[in-house]
Copies of this chain bind each other. A is one copy, B any other.
Amino acid sequence: MRFTSQTTSNGVSERLFNLDDIPGVLWSPADAAGSRPLVLLGHGGGQHKQAAGLVARAHRYVTACGFAVAAIDVPGHGGRPRTEQDERFTAGIGERLAAGEPLGPHIARHNAALAARAIPEWQATLDALQKLDCVGAGGPVGFWGVSLGSAIGVPFTAAESRITAAVFGLAGHETLAEAAARITVPVEFLLQWDDEMVPRDSGLALFGAFASPEKTLHANPGRHAGVPAFELESSERFFTRHLLEGGASAEFAG
């Protein structure tokens, strides 16, 4: 892991790195000393590791919770070369739009192929991050990612026992239910009630598929990209509960 730049703003240190050919970014408190929980952010399709929403989220998790936060570019995204497969995917979007065909299955197939490439990259990144003083080995690790972030994050979390809590959403069960059924850590799952990309029943079925004893579905009106801002705070409370406070969750009668 080779750091290539460091800047600091509003108490948040932002360091760009390369791990082999994977470009990444690590946010941490500017005065970070000693180990701390780590949250990995998976960006959406067509986005990259420093998309505005990810940067705002990272700053919030660092300043409000003291976490370290990291993101990497998914293959074919951000600064990474696009393969023939990526180009065929993009061309296929236009063809299906022109033919009036649904995009969902086409995107899900491509995302599954991206996940196969991205999972070992996330694992190598996690190995390297846990060797840093400001993260440390053996601490709690969260994953946040919706849409493409879940298409990669769900099988990644199923395969990676170091992840102890995850926020997913905006994804359906077709290609992900099998991996979801192997996940037992706490999950917060976002669903857009009027999602034009993911049919409501498919999202509900994916929520149903997680084996996690603690899982919570947050559904809101609106389209795929319209997740309300208050869900950022909700995810912060979720990660605080599970990465800092040990996840106590007694029941009470309604």
Residues of chain B with a CB closer than 8 A to A249's CB: 228-230
Task: Report if A217-B216 is in contact (Cβ < 8 Å); known contacts: A44-B253, A229-B252, A230-B249.
Answer: no
Residues of chain B with a CB closer than 8 A to A204's CB: 204
Contact residues, A149-201 vs B (CB, 8 A): 149, 169-170, 190-191, 193
Residues of chain B with a CB closer than 8 A to A105's CB: none
Contact residues, A210-231 vs B (CB, 8 A): 213-222, 224-230
Tell me, rounded to whole Å, the shortest Cβ–Cβ distance linking A152 to chain B. Answer: 14
> Is the CB–CB distance between B227 and A190 below 8 Å?
no
A77 interface residue per 8 A CB criterion: no
A251 interface residue per 8 A CB criterion: yes
How far, in angstroms, from A215 to B191 measured CA to CA in the complex? 12
A222-254 near B? 1/0 per residue, CB < 8 Å = 101111111011100100010000001111111
A28 interface residue per 8 A CB criterion: no
Q: Which of B208, B213, B225, B251 contacts A254 (CB 8 A)?
A: B225
A27 interface residue per 8 A CB criterion: no
Among A224, A249, A253, max chain B CB count under 10 A is at: A253
How far, in angstroms, from A207 to B220 measured CA to CA in the complex? 10
19 contacts across the A-B interface (CB closer than 8 A)? A53-B254, A146-B254, A147-B254, A149-B254, A169-B254, A190-B254, A216-B219, A216-B220, A216-B228, A217-B217, A217-B219, A218-B218, A219-B219, A225-B253, A227-B252, A227-B253, A229-B248, A229-B252, A232-B252
A positions within 8 Å CB-CB of B: 44, 51-53, 56, 146-147, 149, 169-170, 190-191, 193, 204, 207-208, 213-222, 224-230, 232-234, 237, 241, 248-254
